[in-house]
């Protein structure tokens, strides 16, 4: 299996479809703790800590503030998406 094939398998192993084309995806793992993003793969947007969708930037354009706004621990990401869904339904 090529490295590219391995990456595809790894990506699939840590991606959960949570609503339509919105996925909860692990983007990194350090010291056995995953960093997760809520992403709309169709629109190329990520949900940030202000409950707003913003562009999913290329790695070269990401700064620390982007990472802090868009990357979460698993439980936090799940909670945020639940809150977002309630907020979106009330609007």
* Domain span at 77: 3-90
Strands 22-30 vs 33-40: parallel, antiparallel or unpaired = antiparallel
Buried-exposed string 32-42: b where 16+ CB fall within 10 A, e elsewhere: eebbbbbbbee
CB contact at 8 A, 47 and 80: yes
pLDDT digits (tens, 9 = 90+) for 26-49: 988 777 778 999 999 999 999 999
N-term to C-term CA, the chain: 48
Domain count, the chain: 1
User: How sure is the predictor about 78, in pLDDT bands with cuts at 50, 70 and 90?
Assistant: very high
For residue 90, pLDDT beyond 80: no
């Amino acid at each position: 299996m090529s490295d590219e094939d391995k990456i595809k398998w790894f990506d699939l192993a840590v991606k959960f479809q949570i609503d339509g084309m919105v996925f909860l995806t692990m983007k990194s793992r350090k010291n056995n703790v995953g960093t997760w993003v809520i992403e709309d793969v169709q629109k190329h947007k990520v949900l940030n800590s202000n409950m707003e969708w913003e562009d999913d930037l290329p790695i070269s354009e990401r700064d620390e503030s982007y990472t802090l706004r868009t990357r979460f621990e698993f439980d936090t990401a799940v909670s945020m998406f639940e809150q977002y869904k309630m907020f979106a339904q009330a609007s």
